[in-house]
Amino acid sequence: MIFYFTGTGNSRYIAKQIAAVTGETIVSINDKIKAGDTAPIETDGRVVFVTPTYAWRIPRIVENWIRAVEFDGADKAWFVMDCGSEIGNAAAYNARLCADKGFAYMGTAQIVMPENYIAMFRAPDEDEAREIIAKAGPVIGKTAAELKAGAPFAKPRKNFYDRFMSGPVNPLFYRFTVKANAFTADQTCIGCGKCATLCPLNNIRLEHGKPVWGNSCTHCMACIAYCPAKAIEYGKKSVGKPRYHLEEPGAEGGK
């Protein structure tokens, strides 16, 4: 069974590509978190978690959800992490999570996909994004083949930089950077509510037809990336930057 969390479509795309090879069922973690659903889930003996990389680990809200859910029958777990450049030492934390859950840890695969974190970096334009996705194709294919065979993933790189970024930097990033107070919607907002619908933490509500952000945010960038009017900015950091998303939620059979 494949579980994915996504902000702008990268992980959803990878999960679908893997499922096309392995024939496994796909489950949206976004939907589960948004609904507050932590009910036990019956599995076929193994679980695959496909997630973006947030500060060189899996997203904190995903880890918290995994810890809260009983995966009945699951004894093996694989992690597939997409990133703009690198996953740091995320594998060590994934292995620790598996130990806590009683899963046999089967490894972490890294897949470079288009950057979406415009609160800090520049997202690619359409042509750049297509090129990056094309380069990711063989890696996704290899990852899917290994999953179909039930093989463990090769150990990723682990040097001092990786340990530092996934270790001390990760909690500092959440403490000082992951906040919603810089999000605003300008006068071009059409009040469609798409941002509120997509927010996995139900952190956005409409007031007088305009979005208002609360204090709970994971910086998934879904609200700013999918805004059809491009009315949302993250302070001055997103001004003039491309908005990247891979596909529309709900397209081709999955959110």
- pLDDT band, very low/low/confident/very high, at 95 (cuts 50, 70, 90): very high
Q: What mean pLDDT is reported for the chain?
A: 95
DSSP string, 89-152: THHHHHHHHHHHHTPEEEEEEEEE-----TTTSPPP-HHHHHHHHHHHHHHHHHHHHHHHHTPP
Q: Do 100 and 215 sit in the same domain of this protein? A: no
Q: Do 145 and 197 sit in the same domain of this protein? A: no
How many whole angstroms separate alpha carbon 151 and alpha carbon 138? Answer: 17
Q: Do 85 and 117 sit in the same domain of this protein? A: yes
Indicate whether 118 belongs to any domain: yes
CATH number, residue 219 = 3.30.70.20
Residues 144-171 have pLDDT tens digits of 999 999 999 999 889 999 999 999 999 9
Indicate whether 241 belongs to any domain: no
Indicate whether 243 belongs to any domain: no
Indicate whether 216 belongs to any domain: yes
N- to C-terminal Cα distance for the chain? 16
Residues 206-242 have pLDDT tens digits of 999 999 999 999 999 999 999 999 999 999 999 999 9
Q: Do 113 and 229 sit in the same domain of this protein? A: no
Indicate whether 88 belongs to any domain: yes
**Can you give the pLDDT at residue 42?**
97
Indicate whether 255 belongs to any domain: no
Indicate whether 250 belongs to any domain: no
The dihedral region occupied by 169, where left means phi > 0, alpha psi between -120 and 50, and beta the remainder, is: alpha
| Rounded mean pLDDT, 43-49 | 96
Q: Do 121 and 23 sit in the same domain of this protein? A: yes
Q: Does the structure show a pLDDT above 50 at 109?
A: yes
**Can you give the pLDDT at residue 252?**
40
Number of domains the chain is built from: 2
Q: Does the structure show a pLDDT above 90 at 249?
A: no
**How many percent of the chain have pLDDT more than 70?**
97
| Rounded mean pLDDT, 88-97 | 98
CATH number, residue 143 = 3.40.50
**Can you give the pLDDT at residue 248?**
56
Q: Does the structure show a pLDDT above 70 at 253?
A: no
- Of 23, 64, 65, residue with least CA distance to 46: 23
Q: Do 56 and 77 sit in the same domain of this protein? A: yes
How many whole angstroms separate alpha carbon 13 and alpha carbon 6? Answer: 9
- pLDDT band, very low/low/confident/very high, at 247 (cuts 50, 70, 90): confident
Q: Do 130 and 224 sit in the same domain of this protein? A: no
Domain that holds residue 199: 183-234
* Dihedral sign for Cα atoms in the order 137, 139, 142, 145: negative
Q: Do 28 and 143 sit in the same domain of this protein? A: yes
| Rounded mean pLDDT, 59-81 | 98
* Amino acid identity at 53: T
Q: Do 195 and 119 sit in the same domain of this protein? A: no
More confident residue, 140 or 248: 140
Give CA separation, 206 vs 189, 195, 202, 233, in Å: 11, 9, 11, 16
Q: Do 161 and 221 sit in the same domain of this protein? A: no
Domain boundary among 150, 173, 196: 173
**Can you give the pLDDT at residue 132?**
96
- pLDDT band, very low/low/confident/very high, at 75 (cuts 50, 70, 90): very high
Q: Does the structure show a pLDDT above 70 at 251?
A: no
Cβ atoms < 10 Å from Cβ of 193: 13
**Can you give the pLDDT at residue 204?**
98
Helix, strand, coil in percent for the chain, rounding step 5: 35, 20, 45
Indicate whether 129 belongs to any domain: yes
- pLDDT band, very low/low/confident/very high, at 52 (cuts 50, 70, 90): very high
The 3-state DSSP class for residue 10 equals: helix
* Amino acid identity at 105: Y
Q: Do 54 and 111 sit in the same domain of this protein? A: yes
Q: Do 63 and 123 sit in the same domain of this protein? A: yes
